[in-house]
Structure 1
Amino acid sequence: MLLVGNKKKPLDEIADIHLDDEYERGEMARVLRLGLVCTRTDPKLRPSISQVVCTLDGSERFFKEEGGKEGDVSRKQMYDSSMLMVRQMQALGIH
């Protein structure tokens, strides 16, 4: 299961159907989780390129430093990220 937004989804629902269930689940989960943290709204919450490379090489260090499960985002991080987006929209005059 992978936490996507506020829902847990099995990898089978996320993986490309053309893979015909022929993939290493741990690797798939790592790449998907990494994609989620790399697309966080607040750039300060995203991993550095060296952290991305280490994670793709199999290191769990970045996710362990993040605390909790891989890919999980704390409520504070989600709130901070959302507030940043709201402030940016307000600065652009978007209401």
Structure 2
Amino acid sequence: MKMKKQLVNILTKKNNSQKFFDKKIGGEIDSFSLPIDSDFLLSPLHAARYLDVSVKFIYELIQSGQIKSQPIGNRLKRIRKKTLDNWLIQQAMKFER
């Protein structure tokens, strides 16, 4: 039930941007804004912040094929925000059954 509430909160934000904060790095808070309505490409770090999970978990999802990533060059990967939202919906539906 908690996951369903978090999903609803993420997907029904009233404003156009959402702030994410991470621990202090070099005396400043590392943060970024994410437009909710756009189809952004996120780094695995930002995807992890968006879902409030570890970066390792994001890489496990990519490796297992549960979420698709866009390769950029030989080493970089990016994940569409829409892909993460769809994955969240699928996870919430599993718990409702």
TM-score (norm: length of structure 1): 0.34
What TM-score, normalized by structure 2, do the two folds share? 0.34
Q: Which structure: greater helix fraction?
A: 1
Higher strand share: 2
Name which one, 1 or 2, has greater alpha-carbon Rg.
Answer: 1
